Structure 1
Amino acid sequence: MAVPSLVAQTIYAELLDRCANAAFDEAFIEEGAFTAKMIKGRRYWYFQVGVGAARKQRYVGVETPELLEHIARHREARNDARERRALVSTLVRSFNMPRPIPQIGDVTAALAKAGVFRLRGVLVGTVAYQTYSAMLGVRLANALLETGDVDIAQFKNVSLAVEDNTPSVLETLRGVDKTFRAIPNMLDGRRVTNYAAKGGLRVDFLTPNEGEETGQPQSLPALQTDAQPLRFLDFLIHDPEPAVLLHDAGVFVQVPAPARYAVHKLIVSSRRRDGTAKRDKDIRQADILLTVLAEKRPHELRLAWEEAHGRGPSWRKLLLQGLSVISASARDLTLKTTDLRRLAIPGLDLTFSSPPVRYDFSRDIVMFEGEALGSAVSCAISREALDDHFGSSGLDQQGRLDSVLRSRSKIEFMARTKYRSWPIEEPGKVLIKTEDVPELLKEPSASKSADRSVRAKRGRHADGK
């Protein structure tokens, strides 16, 4: 599966580059010139059209090497919509990458053409999650890709600073579907943060909550709409990534970094009521993304986790609560990537109910099973550990099984200690090796030392170290 994934990601990278060029060229088709401004020590670029009193400037973006390359190539770029459609088709048909339903694709494309993403709006929610399949070279579960909403977020200060604006949101949306209407906000009927079309499709605008959670709509002048403030959204949309929605010839958008999306879902899932569809979807999306990121982007996952973990006790509590409800494998992979111990998870313990023991000749170990948070844990002790510390040297298979049964309570205690307090070696498993036994048999002093080590690690995360 590695080769198809690499091929798919190569095709996607080419599509992303072509769509970025096309979006840039389509945004600045008039006769004009690019000009730069220094604002608070950073260089921002604008596209200037007209002369004299009729002169207008449109926001291009903060200076980056990629932006300077787009500016340099602006007049040379060609219209390659046909080639882009072919790349989209290849990703969808040959690699089974997800594409949005046509109406959502059309709405997102219209918002992109209107300048929403050029003006640093960020596509969030499940439509953004759909883009991660091609971005990461994986096929995400269909049930987690279904949505009837398009969610757009923007920082309020960014909306004020760009000194440019899109056309009216309602005008843009009605260009796609004439049944779109503005929905008055429930707290302030004069403000509009949501738009809905006949059939149920919604477009929602969001902005990070500043100060107390009042729920009062905030104005986003660059997008000519109001937005619903949400807590934790600032973490999600900080430093977004460019992406392509696999619709038509590809829609160039900005989405949250996948690691931020996964960590954010852990947080918000902990704030939803048990049993709700949104909570279940949040947990499943976090579960799958954390598993993929632990393999493909472990450094980014660790940085995102440490940033969220360092924002204070309430953030840490929600993060660990979120980890306690995802699958054991995703939880262990996340803990291993972030260098935390399992005992950080509230309520996590390894328990035994006199499970049968069996000998695995292929690995020369005695195996038995435990349980943690409702999931089975594969436990084992090596033949060398039994021979060196439990008097089974020279015994046959049955003899070693009997030695485990005679020392069951001690061996289970060691397995529990290593599982909870020691660095994670393999998700969902714990193996007692001969070199582990002397340290594990120092309990309870060793257990207290391990607890102190974990508490120290938590403190370093809280300090941002």
Structure 2
Amino acid sequence: MKSVDLMYQTMLAELGQRSLDAAWTADFPPEGRFTPANIKGRKYWYFDIPDGHGGTKRRYVGPAEDPDIAQRVSDHKRDKDDLRARRRLVNTLTREGGMISPDAMSGDIVEALADGGLFRLRGVLIGTVAFQCYSGLLGVRLPMAAILTGDADIAHYYAISREVEDSLPPIVELLQDVDASFRPVPHRSGSGASSAFQNADGYRVEFLTSNRGLDDYVDQPAKMPALGGASADPLRFLDFLIREPVRTILLHRSGIPVVVPDPARYAVHKLIVASRRHTDGQGPAKREKDIRQAALLFEALQQTRRSADLALVYNEAWERGPAWQDAIRIGAGMLPAPDADRFKMVLIDGAKKNREEIELPFGE
């Protein structure tokens, strides 16, 4: 696996900062003001904007303990939006630097959701579109065969969606601004709520949330107040995936600031997901992609000396109990022999760095 030249990694960091500055200015213009609020014992920042009728409209910003948010609140000012310069950076990074850009539909959809406030409201981009970001995030060149997709998956915590007291504009309207043929997909449960939207070409946008562990919520869409009228399908193991996500850039147009899962969590989660794929329909093809993406990230984490990160999140998943352990064992058993050997070596090396014991999923 080839590394991305340090010059291009530096350019990506510059693009990231410029894109965040531009997004911040768009969301929080100088005429508004930041307001702290205490909710259930935690401090959050909100932003009040004049509504033009003598009142204000309030937007959620984020938790007060986030150091990046705290710094930006203290330095609140208008940032220059250098759109053309950022587009040139994106073109250089993808054409010369070997980093990955999404297909046009995926990029446009993520941009529309980001502009609507998805990541400000602590949504997390997951699935293959998120995987496309790991080339720049880890500084490695990933093969195109592992990143092709026909859908976009978005995750959001139920508790956050319920408590932020803010919302995206109507999801269906945001999507129809990208492609007028987007329509809500009827939920399999027969519920009137929709957690997925699809266009005439079959491109699907799906919203997911963590399973709250009660039988009453199994196979029922969860109402998500922050998601602009969209519900979300509860998914087991998702809370592990989206815990402590990271900020990065999707290389589309002038760069889109996004939030994605930690790559080590993504890799372990892919083993778990692969173990639970159906054996009919698209299940086998999706399982093969899961295993391929996990194996590529194990290699990338080894190459970038992040074995300790992988061992740490692997142990977290393993310690969640027998069901998690069985899923990891099954997924690891699907890895080709060279990839399984690498996974084993990375876990052992990471455990040594962390000075902790580790139980391997290969029966040793």
Q: Distance in 2 between matches of 1:43 and 1:87?
A: 37
Map 1:360-371; keep pairs closer than 5 Å.
none
For 1:91 and 1:335, the matched residues in 2 are separated by: 33
Identity of aligned residues (%): 45
**Aligned counterpart in structure 2 of residue 332 of structure 1, from 330, 338, 341:** 341
SS at the partner of 1:338?
Answer: helix
Alignment partner, residue 382 of structure 1? none
Write the distance in 2 (CA, Å) between the matches of 1:325 and 1:86.
41
Shift of 1:73: 3.7
C-alpha displacement of 1:53: 7.8
Give the corresponding residue for 1:381.
none
Q: State whether residues 2 and 141 of structure 2, in contact with CA within 8 Å, keep that contact through their aligned partners in structure 1.
A: no
> Does residue 294 of structure 2 align to residue 286 of structure 1?
yes
- Alignment partner, residue 384 of structure 1: none
2:113 is aligned with 1:121: no
Name the structure 2 match of 1:142. Answer: 144
> 1:145: how far off?
0.8
Letter matched to residue 290 of structure 2: D
Residue type of the alignment partner of 1:182? P
Write the mapping of 1:25-174 to structure 2, written as runs, cut at 5 A.
25-29=25-29, 31-50=31-50, 54-63=55-64, 64-174=66-176
Q: Which residue of 1 aligns with 2:220?
A: 216
Paired residues in the alignment total 348
C-alpha contact 1:35 1:46 (8 A) present in aligned 2: yes
The Cα of 1:302 is off from its aligned counterpart by 1.2
Equivalent residue letter for 1:181: R
Question: By how many angstroms is 1:457 displaced?
Answer: 5.2
Larger radius of gyration: 1
Asked if the contact 1:154/1:206 (under 8 Å) is kept, the reply is yes
Which residue of structure 2 aligns with residue 439 of structure 1?
none
The superposition leaves residues 375-423 of structure 1 with CA deviations (integer Å, 9 ceiling, x where unpaired) of xxxxxxxxxxxxxxxxxxxxxxxxxxxxxxxxxxxxxxxxxxxxxxxx9
Cα contact 1:188–1:216 (8 A) shared by 2 = no
User: Does residue 182 of the first structure (1) align with residue 187 of the second (2)?
Assistant: no
What is the distance in 1 between the residues matched to 2:3 and 2:340? 27
SS in 1 for 2:99: coil
Tell me whether 331-340 or 25-34 shows the greater mean CA deviation. Answer: 331-340
Tell me the alpha carbon deviations over residues 111-141 of structure 1, each in whole angstroms, 9 at most, x when there is no partner: 0000011101111110000010111111111
Which has the higher mean CA deviation after the structures are superposed, 312-321 or 210-219? Answer: 210-219
Q: 1:177 to 1:94 in 2, by over 3 A?
A: same
Q: How does 1:241-252 map to 2 (within 5 A)?
A: 241-252=246-257
1:240–1:255 CA contact under 8 A, matched in 2: yes
Contact 1:188/1:217 (8 A) holds in 2: no
Q: CA deviation at 1:2?
A: 7.5
Moved more, 236-245 or 205-214: 205-214
1:30 positional shift? 6.3
1:258 to 234, 246, 263: 263
- For residues 188 and 273 of structure 1, the distance between their equivalents in structure 2, rounded to whole angstroms, comes to 22
> Structure 2 regions of 5+ residues with no counterpart?
none
User: 1:160: how far off?
Assistant: 0.8
Amino acid at match of 1:335: K
Taking the aligned partners of 1:20 and 1:155, their CA distance within structure 2 comes to 23
Offset, 1:320:
1.9
- Structure 1: 5+ residue stretches without partners: 341-422, 425-455, 460-465
Kept in 1, the 8 Å contact 2:185–2:194? The answer is yes
Aligned with 2:178: secondary structure? coil
TM-score (norm 1): 0.71
Q: Considering only aligned residues, what root-mean-square deviation do their CA atoms show, in Å?
A: 2.5
Does residue 327 of structure 2 align to residue 318 of structure 1? yes
* Residue 277 (1) aligns with residue 285 (2): yes
Q: Distance in 2 between matches of 1:73 and 1:126?
A: 35
